[in-house]
Amino acid sequence: MGYGSLYFPSMTARIQLSQPAPATPHQTLTLEFPVEGVALGGRVQIPGDKSISHRSLMLGAIAQGETRIQGLLLGEDPRSTAACFQALGVQISPLEEDWVTVQGVGLGHLQEPVDVLNAGNSGTTLRLMLGLLASHPDRFFTVTGDSSLRSRPMDRVIQPLSQMGAQIWGRQGNRLAPLAVRGMGLKPMHYHSPVASAQVKSCLLLAGLMTEGATTVTEPSLSRDHSERMLRAFGADLTVDPETCSVTVHGPAILTGQTIIVPGDMSSAAFWLVAGAITPGSDLVVENVGINPTRTGILDALQAMEADITLENPREVTGEPAADLRVRYSTLQAGQFGGDLIPRMIDEIPILAIAALFASGTTVITDAAELRVKECDRITAMATQLAKLGAKVEERPDGLAIEGGIPLRGNVVDSCGDHRVAMSLAIASLRAQGQTQIQRAEAAAVSYPSFNQTLAHLCGLALVN
């Protein structure tokens, strides 16, 4: 087995990543730092926003003309989206360049694929794509994903699509992939979603693009609005009522290809914001981060914990607000987080739990039961794995209670195959005494392929092969 090792010149800290062998496809990330951590400094660019990357590929595929995308996240999830739409007859340039081009086929012209569509580990790919597939009449599609995705509930989108007239079949009472879809002419509806979910909302809005009339989704609170912003940019007739948390799309629509610049992903930035906030002496700037108000719950939570985070150079990037975020080490205070804040930071709760480990008092997170149906059960995963590091974390049905100020000690932990768990554990290791080994560390590549290299860069490490 080969190794790529990252070392401080002083050899007082190290990061070592085992490369997978033919018989063992998983990586182990070994980290060891001084107990006080290593001051993080400098400026860092983060990957493009994953949510916007998915949507730019999808809307580009069903638009008329060419869509050009700069800053697309080159992680595994957007690659799954691109592969699915290529199988549906859309020409997409290789996801290796600064600019990616999509030659749109126009709404209603996705081809019937000759093979099963594979969404990999991406719930966004599968759930949003179902809205488009179900509304393409006279075509038959089969869709699946990896073992994790095949265990995640799809009925939250299948049920409302079925009310619109969709025909979808799946395992366990049409709940789980693999799924079979017969495209139909759908009818509009007003759906009252029981949860605030951008994936449910976006799926139904995409289905409504080819449906005669008004398709409306009402949520209990506002979920992220990347779909609404991008649909408007592509020319859809869409209205939003913030008072009732309702969005309406009027179909049938005609979309036109656009030029899209993808800002940095707040979910990726959150790891460095917490790393800087908990590590003495840190002062770093995370550049070009999307600060869409529906995504800044983690900023609100960290600032409520008295983290020293400031916004610099605010601007707008193709309809999305962005800024540089400066974070400096500070003494954190525990917080109570729940309610409408949770949908605005649902993906960042694992790394918020790491911040809570270094806050004075007990942090309580509630109303986050959605975490149990992510890439893994993130509530159980974080409670179990942090306990291995010596933390005191109480698992609750809809969240966590985390006691701050307990010294961490290195141990062998597991990502549970979840990218956000893997990266959160790596940030926790910055302040753990002794060596931490993270098993199945390759999961980070789903949304942040260069995470380990960026961690090394921010710590002043040099890569040694």
The amino acid sitting at 407 is: P
Catalytic residues: 347
Q: What is the DSSP secondary structure assignment for residue 221, as one 8-state letter?
A: S
Q: Do strands 3-7 and 408-409 pair parallel, antiparallel, or not at all (unpaired)?
A: unpaired
| Helix (H) or strand (E) segment spanning residue 298 | helix 297-304
| Helix (H) or strand (E) segment spanning residue 242 | none
H-state helical runs in 359-460: 378-388, 419-429, 451-459
Residue 137's CB: how many other CB atoms inside 10 A?
12
By 3-state DSSP, what share of the chain in percent is helix, strand and coil, each rounded to 5? Answer: 35, 30, 35
CA trace torsion 126, 130, 133, 138 (10° rounding): 130
Q: Is 342 exposed, middle or buried (0-12, 13-18, 19+ CB in 10 A)?
A: buried
H helix count then E strand count, the chain: 13, 29
Task: Find residue 68's DSSP bridge partners.
Answer: 101, 259
Which of 44, 91, 43, 49 is closest to 70 using CA atoms?
49
CA distances from 418 to 93, 437, 450 (A): 28, 15, 16
